Chains A and B, each alone.
Chain A
């Protein structure tokens, strides 16, 4: 049995992953620091990441495959071991390699939604959620943030009442996803971990499920870490974002800034368009800002960030994270020979 964490004890671990609890100022809700050797297709690489997260915030982890996104979530959940690491959530120390402390997965108050959902085929939807409720025989060292929501409340929130007596095999991908989400929050975790939760779904289902995730975040005020490849999803759900590359943090900050930084912004004024040839491109809305008498829509389109002024009635149906089609008129076409 591990000793109870003492939140106010200051110490100087020798691994360089200092417990920032010793630092002055208010402590963030989650502190994470880990080093681990990764074996990737490109060879060995060190995962070396540290970050902090405030309570109730949603952090998106973005990056190419093999950058260590899923490993990061698994380290948080205690499913993957690290060489050196420190994880503190609230007053609980989950991992402190310098003091040989590691809480097993089942004692960390997490909700984990796996990429393939990991539903148990032998249990119906309702039984699946009941299974996630704390047992009387087991006393968690991590106390849940509040009393767990009732099964009926969760079923109704995720619109699963009609399916509650079905087995997972009979459900569609989107329905299974909702069950996985409901199951992950049934024990009212302190930290929700989503591993590319919507990657297996088509666009329509993806949009719908983003709504559900937004709904539970709002309802239960959950601190969430979301691994995603999908920019609109990040812009819609995350308060802050980290991009990973080769096991390290490349950029960090507000999603619109993080994904705006990589390419210089170009300003296009609609009055410049003179040509009659329309070009349509798919774009993702990063930001919507109200100016004096119009709205400025910031979009990511063909690798560039564009600011497009539109009239208020045009801006009304738009939402951050939405995928839209932009039609340009080519103003000054240039020709070049193809190789």
Chain B
């Protein structure tokens, strides 16, 4: 009786692990991408913006379906990875990370981009007139003044990865310890009509998601109120 109610923490840990790895990698690629979108004078950069934002409107199953096709060893990209790097992305944790990066990219890029666009243009120019390069300007002037946007981007991409389900189902499946994340665990328990355990997982995710959003809104509230202070 008690056995089927015992919560298996592994899917939850896996969710947290996936979200943390995704968030860290997204910080590294999302900031330069947002910087480029904010300051590049390329005319077609709006098209890049549209592509990055696509996962926000696309059903996750559509994204997952095409990633499944791309990653599967029977197809070009998947075969290339398998042949040259011995890397399998379907039904593996690295595959989940790659899918999460694409899936959560707009949640990192868009807040950071909005942060850059909200800064007065002449801060960057002033830094250049003081003899500073783009890189020094980015780290010493731009990023310190969009801290709220950076935290928002990091937390939202983390939370969005915790909440992903459709993409994981398509390319990850439900391999315990490998790809069975918390959202998939809930689905499995529901399928086997173990509602009480599904409820336990669900409550943990609910509380976690709420705390994350509370943190985001709290930070934004703080920065809006005390914006001018460091």
Q: Tell me the A residues contacting B by CB distance below 8 Å.
A: 77-79, 104-108, 110-112, 114, 116, 118, 120-122, 131-132, 134-135, 138, 140, 167, 169, 183-184, 186-187
Nearest CB of chain B from residue A104's CB, rounded to whole Å: 7
21 A-B contacts, Cβ less than 8 Å apart?
Answer: A77-B125, A105-B129, A106-B133, A112-B125, A114-B126, A116-B122, A118-B122, A120-B123, A120-B127, A122-B230, A131-B132, A131-B140, A132-B130, A135-B132, A135-B136, A138-B131, A167-B230, A183-B130, A184-B129, A187-B130, A187-B131
Q: In the assembly, what is the distance between CA of A184 and CA of B128, in Å?
A: 11
B178-219 residues with Cβ-Cβ distance < 8 A to A are: none
Q: A79: nearest residue on chain B (CB-CB)? A: B125
Q: Given that A118-B126, A122-B145 are contacting pairs, would A106 and B120 also be in contact in the complex, using a CB cutoff of 8 Å? A: no
Q: A142: nearest residue on chain B (CB-CB)? A: B131
Q: A77: nearest residue on chain B (CB-CB)? A: B129
Q: A109: nearest residue on chain B (CB-CB)? A: B131
Number of A-B contacts (CB under 8 A): 72
Q: Given that A111-B129, A187-B130, A187-B131 are contacting pairs, would A122 and B144 also be in contact in the complex, using a CB cutoff of 8 Å? A: yes
The answer to whether the Cβ of B141 comes within 8 Å of any Cβ in the partner chain is: yes
Number of residues from B at the complex interface, CB < 8 A: 20
* Majority secondary structure of chain A interface residues (helix, strand, loop or mixed): loop
The answer to whether the Cβ of B229 comes within 8 Å of any Cβ in the partner chain is: yes
The answer to whether the Cβ of B228 comes within 8 Å of any Cβ in the partner chain is: yes
Nearest CB of chain B from residue A73's CB, rounded to whole Å: 10
Nearest CB of chain A from residue B222's CB, rounded to whole Å: 15
* B125 pairs with A105, CB closer than 8 A: yes
* A110 pairs with B129, CB closer than 8 A: yes
Other A-B pairs, 9, CB within 8 Å; known A108-B129, A112-B125, A112-B126: A120-B123, A120-B127, A120-B141, A120-B144, A121-B228, A132-B130, A134-B131, A186-B130, A187-B131
Q: Which residues of A contact B229 (CB under 8 A)?
A: 167, 169
Q: Which residues of B contact A186 (CB under 8 A)?
A: 130
Q: In the assembly, what is the distance between CA of A112 and CA of B129, in Å?
A: 6
Q: Which residues of B contact A79 (CB under 8 A)?
A: 125, 128-129
Q: Which residues of B contact A121 (CB under 8 A)?
A: 145, 228, 230
Q: In the assembly, what is the distance between CA of A118 and CA of B136, in Å?
A: 17
Q: Which residues of A contact B128 (CB under 8 A)?
A: 78-79, 104-106
Q: In the assembly, what is the distance between CA of A192 and CA of B140, in Å?
A: 23
Nearest CB of chain A from residue B198's CB, rounded to whole Å: 47
Q: Which residues of B contact A111 (CB under 8 A)?
A: 129
Among A108, A121, A169, the one with the most B-chain Cβ atoms within 10 Å of its Cβ is: A121
Nearest CB of chain B from residue A106's CB, rounded to whole Å: 5
